[in-house]
């Protein structure tokens, strides 16, 4: 972990305590919390209790572009979580607002930077930030030196960034487990990885390549660009490769074109897609039958229908809000447990400020998510290898499942991911 950032945050918190003296009402918050960015003694716009102050969290996600089918339900799940928290009494003297400062980045890093500049003075932390490159650029802003972020991205780079509360298995780990699963359970002797270039796709590809090298099988790298109508070359490369299994790190539209195209031309192997590849609406597309026969979805989070107290509460909240069953809604709900734990810790420490949140985050060793996060989540006090989630589940398209996919294999950890030593972001090894 970044010890320099951590030391600076401790000094910043200590300095603020000396200058500020007593906190709000000599109690919850401390650190003159009502004057911290995104913290006010005034109630939230849709307050349950008008006597409580408000903590504003920012969200920058994709509401209209290629990954809106992920970004929209992620935000809906997070908003439902905090609505429940507020109805249950909030946190300390505060309720939480995650709707006032929601912005659409249109899955564009420049747009992400623009909308962050618009809200950065009004938020305490980021409840969601979609896009690895866009989030990294945001964190380089001078006003984000102590900004705590829940990422809507699973890049392995977050294992090395104190300010980002990484959750779930990384794209790299998904790639490792997909290859090991293909070898151990499907008998694969060669694999290909078709992927977008850049942080997300390269992270997934490098994980697959590492596992293929560990298992001594042939590996073919197939980079591809966006666009369902631009996948002909990728399909041809897959067919030429002779691969028994294909690891996919693209968007849903590209996945459908790749799987549908390859299967129609005689490919008989399996496709194992990283978490951003899936959208249940694909089952209604022309590629639906091919996906049902040949595709598995890698996802390290408990499914929407999982049997746990957290998932039971989430399903009730989804029904109350009118949201359809959706595994990305479930993921948005899950990530909010991390921010809740950090806020509670900062308030308990009388340090409700950006520096206080960062110090609280880097002190966490576990988080009780009521069965909503993978086992071992929330360890931000250790190093990258202690924090890394190494298991993934594989879900299969299922027309009878509430979300269109049901668990095929639960919590699989292959030998590559189990023993891998994370020293840097995988995509830097491309």
Ordered domains of the chain (ranges, CATH): 3-153+304-373 (3.40.50.2300), 171-300+391-429 (3.40.50.2300)
- The secondary element (H helix, E strand) that includes residue 208 is helix 199-215
Rounded CA separation 213/406 (Å): 30
Rounded CA separation 388/378 (Å): 10
Res 36: pLDDT: 84
pLDDT greater than 80 at residue 5: no
Res 29: pLDDT: 54
Rounded CA separation 18/183 (Å): 59
Res 273: pLDDT: 98
Res 8: pLDDT: 34
CA separation (Å) from 281 to 61, 286, 304, 399? Answer: 20, 11, 16, 11
Higher pLDDT, 1 or 146: 146
Res 35: pLDDT: 61
pLDDT greater than 60 at residue 25: no
Query: Residue 60 forms beta bridges with which residues?
Result: 103, 129
Residue 230: φ, ψ to 5°: -115, 20
pLDDT greater than 70 at residue 251: yes
pLDDT greater than 60 at residue 217: yes
Rounded CA separation 97/57 (Å): 6
**In sequence order, what E strands does 224-335 have?**
245-249, 270-273, 295-299
Higher pLDDT, 11 or 241: 241
pLDDT greater than 80 at residue 100: yes
Q: Tokens representing 391? A: 């298991």
Average pLDDT (79-92) is 98
Average pLDDT (286-300) is 97
Average the pLDDT over each of 134-148, 171-185, 246-260, 380-394 and give the range with the smallest value: 134-148
Res 1: pLDDT: 38
pLDDT greater than 90 at residue 205: yes
- The secondary element (H helix, E strand) that includes residue 221 is strand 218-223
Average the pLDDT over each of 89-98, 138-147, 210-219, 402-411 and give the range with the smallest value: 138-147
Mean pLDDT over each residue of the chain, to the nearest integer? 92
How remote is the C-alpha of 288 from its chain's centroid?
26
Burial track 177-186 (b if 16+ CB lie within 10 A, e otherwise): bbbbbbbebe
Q: Dihedral (C-alpha) 390, 396, 402, 404: value to the nearest 10 degrees? A: 120
């Amino acid at each position: 972990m970044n010890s320099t950032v951590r030391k600076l945050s401790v000094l910043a918190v200590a300095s603020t305590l000396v200058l500020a003296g007593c906190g709000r009402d000599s109690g919850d918050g401390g650190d003159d919390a009502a004057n911290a960015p995104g913290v006010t003694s005034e109630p939230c716009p849709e307050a349950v209790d008008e006597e409580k102050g408000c903590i504003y969290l920012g969200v920058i996600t994709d509401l209209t572009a290629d990954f809106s089918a992920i970004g929209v339900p992620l935000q809906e799940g997070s908003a439902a979580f905090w609505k429940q928290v507020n109805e249950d009494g909030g946190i300390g003297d505060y309720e939480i607002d995650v709707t006032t400062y929601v912005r659409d980045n249109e899955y564009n890093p420049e747009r992400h930077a623009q909308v962050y500049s618009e809200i950065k003075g009004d938020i305490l932390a980021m409840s969601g930030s979609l896009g690895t490159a866009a989030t990294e650029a945001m964190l380089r802003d001078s006003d984000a030196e102590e900004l705590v972020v829940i990422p809507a991205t699973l890049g392995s780079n977050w294992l090395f960034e104190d300010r980002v509360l990484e959750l779930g298995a990384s794209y790299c780990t998904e790639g490792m487990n997909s290859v090991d699963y293909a070898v151990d359970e499907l008998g694969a002797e060669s694999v290909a990885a078709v992927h977008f270039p850049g942080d997300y796709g390269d992270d997934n590809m490098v994980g697959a390549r590492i596992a293929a090298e560990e298992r001594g099988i042939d590996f073919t790298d197939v980079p591809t660009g966006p666009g369902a109508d631009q996948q002909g070359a990728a399909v041809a490369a897959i067919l030429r490769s002779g691969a028994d299994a294909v690891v996919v790190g693209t968007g849903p539209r590209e996945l459908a074109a790749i799987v549908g195209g390859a299967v129609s031309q005689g490919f008989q192997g399996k496709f194992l897609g990283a978490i951003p590849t899936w959208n249940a609406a694909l089952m209604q597309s022309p590629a639906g039958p091919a996906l049902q026969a040949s595709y598995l979805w890698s996802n390290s989070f408990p499914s929407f229908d999982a049997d746990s107290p957290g998932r039971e509460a989430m399903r009730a909240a989804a029904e109350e809000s009118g949201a359809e069953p959706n595994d990305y809604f479930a993921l948005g709900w899950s990530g909010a447990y991390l921010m809740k734990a950090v806020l509670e810790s900062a308030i308990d420490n009388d340090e409700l400020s950006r520096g206080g949140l960062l110090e609280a985050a880097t002190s966490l060793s576990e988080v009780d998510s009521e069965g909503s996060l993978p086992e071992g989540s929330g360890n931000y006090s250790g190093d990258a290898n202690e924090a890394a989630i190494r298991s993934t589940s594989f879900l299969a398209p299922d027309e009878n499942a509430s979300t269109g996919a049901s668990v095929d294999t639960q919590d699989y950890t292959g030998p590559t991911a189990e023993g891998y030593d994370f020293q840097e972001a995988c995509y830097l090894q491309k």
